Structure formats: structure tokens, C-alpha cells
Structure 1
Amino acid sequence: MEYLVVSDTHGRIEKVIKYARSRNFAGIIHAGDYYRDGIALGAELGIPVFAVHGNCDGVWNGIEEELLELNGIKIFLTHGHLYYVKHDLKQIAEKAAQLKVDLAVFGHSHVPIFTELNGVRLLNPGSPERPREEQRGSLAVLKMEAKSFTADLIYL
């Protein structure tokens, strides 16, 4: 089972749609900036969406954090700005460990990463349209099988 993981689309979802149409994703995980892009992607592709809003989503009463369980994998979904992920990953790793999740998915820094810290895996898909520190935009594919998972960072 595969999930498309994106963040920081900032109103530009064309490349994501083009990539996603070539695959058979079970759903989309959108880590904010812009929440409405996650909803639009799900509608366009006809698949479920799990999304949170980020610091650029304006004032609204949406979800800032969500706990998911997909295929037996516990996931903490947040944009990341509340955990200062542009500076280091310590706070988000600590929060994920407190929540006893297997994976924390976040965005905000626009820098793709899949790593482990404090016994928790951390996944930031980067940004498909506004990359930092990379030459190309990015997203991620989360691959799950019977309570195990891996992620691939995809450069567009």
C-alpha cells in the first residue's frame, strides 16, 4: 500500500497531479501550506486525504495536528512550524516519542528528509514547487506492508 506525501504546495499542485496519475495511491498525506491543496488533490485523484494546516493557511479553525493509524503504522501529522523544524528536529522527535508513534510527517522547512531520531522516523517530503537547499521540487511515497514501512523521496 502506498501513500503520496506532500507539503508546502502553496497553491501549485500541477506537478503533484501529473506524478500521482502515474501511480495507484491509497491516499494522500498533506502536511500543510496549503491545506486546501490537499483537499483539491484528493478530489482530483479520487482518493482519501489526511491533511493539516500550516503557518501560511491563514486564520481558520482547522486541524493543526492529527494522529493517524494506517496499515498498523501510527503516524503523527503536523506542519512542523510549532516544533521549529527549520532549526532542528529535536522537538518534533521528542513529541513523536511522547505520542509513541512510528512516524512523524511534517513540512515547513521545504527540505526533504527521511531519517530516524530518538527511535522515531521523521519524514518531510519537501516542497514540489518551492524547494530549499535542493535543485528540484520534491514529494515522498510512503510504502507500507503489514506494520512495516519505508519512504522514498521523489525529486520532480
Structure 2
Amino acid sequence: MKIVILSDTHVKKHNDKIFKFLDNISKDTDMIIHAGDYVSSSVVSKLREHKNFVGVWGNNDKGYIRDLLKEKMIISVEGYNIGLYHGHGNNKNTLESAYNQFSGDKVDIIVFGHSHQPLILTKNKILMINPGSPSYKRREPWYSYVILEIQDRKINVQLKFFN
């Protein structure tokens, strides 16, 4: 299974650029995961066109987006439990906020965003994935997203950077 992982699109206007990006990456993808901060409901609508879109809302998502999506969820993919949470909270550290959200849950992978800083690491045997942002890089040098492939209980994670 090939999964594209996104977060922090923060689209307010000029949706055509992100829509073209989403169309391109979804062509050979089995699932799209978005870890929140879409900002525009049109991005959620575009992602919902993909047959296997899963997402949570972020702290900058309001109204319709929060009504449509959950704040936190756990999905099962190819025998792995994947926790999704944006990463916002009272902790100063986004990684800790995301990790702590699943302290009472059995998860193998946690997907989060919020910091706009791409990251792949393990914490206490849990794979932590932050894809950064494909459209709002802040102080990062590149836009980014993640490809997660799971096949025969093997995991391949690739961080993709672009200008």
C-alpha cells in the first residue's frame, strides 16, 4: 500500500496550485492522509475525491472542517495502527504533543503536523512522521510531504522535498 502523507496546506486562495499538486500525487496512491490545517474547505473537498482519504482537523481549521473531520483518530493499515493528530496542544514541543495524545493507545505510527518541520524518527518504538507542508514552508528551505509504503509487514518511508 502506498500512502501520501500531508499536513499544513494552509490554503486561503489560489487553490489551483495545490489542486494540481494533489492531482499529480494521487495518481498512483492507495491512500492520502492529511494531518490538519487545511484552512480552506475546498482542500478537504478536493482530497475527498480520492477514494481513500483520511484526515483530522488542525488548530487553524474552523467550522465546516471541524464538523466533517475528527481531531484525533486511529486507523489500521496492513496490520499497523496509525494515529493521526495535528500536533497542537499545551506542550511547547509539537512532537511531544502528538506523542502524548496516544499515550493510552496501541499505535505503531503517529502522523502529525503543526510545526511545518518535516521529521521522521522513532520514539519508544513508535514511528513518528511529520510531513512538513507542501504549500506553506515557513522557515524551511523546501516544501515537503511523505510517501509511506507498507507491504508484507515492511515499511518504507520517504521524505520528499521540492521547490
Same-fold status (TM-score > 0.5):
yes
CA deviation after TM superposition for structure 1 residue 88, in Å: 4.7
Check whether the contact 1:39–1:49 (CA below 8 A) recurs between aligned residues. Answer: no
Number of equivalenced pairs:
152
Structure 1: segments with no counterpart, 5+ residues: none
Please, what TM-score do these two structures have when normalized by structure 1? 0.85
Letter aligned with residue 81 of structure 2: K
Structure 1 partner of 2:52: 48
Structure 2 partner of 1:102: 108
The runs of at least 4 consecutive aligned structure 1 residues that moved more than 4 Å come to none
| Aligned CA distance change for structure 1 residues 39 and 150 (closer, same or farther; 3 Å) | farther
Please, what TM-score do these two structures have when normalized by structure 2? 0.82
Letter aligned with residue 17 of structure 1: L
Check whether the contact 2:113–2:130 (CA below 8 A) recurs between aligned residues. Answer: yes
From 10, 14, 19, give the equivalent of 1:14: 19
Structure 2 partner of 1:81: 88
| Aligned CA distance change for structure 1 residues 83 and 100 (closer, same or farther; 3 Å) | farther
Amino-acid identity (%) = 32
Check whether the contact 1:114–1:123 (CA below 8 A) recurs between aligned residues. Answer: yes
Structure 2: segments with no counterpart, 5+ residues: none
| Aligned CA distance change for structure 1 residues 65 and 83 (closer, same or farther; 3 Å) | farther
Check whether the contact 2:94–2:114 (CA below 8 A) recurs between aligned residues. Answer: no
Structure 2 partner of 1:150: 156
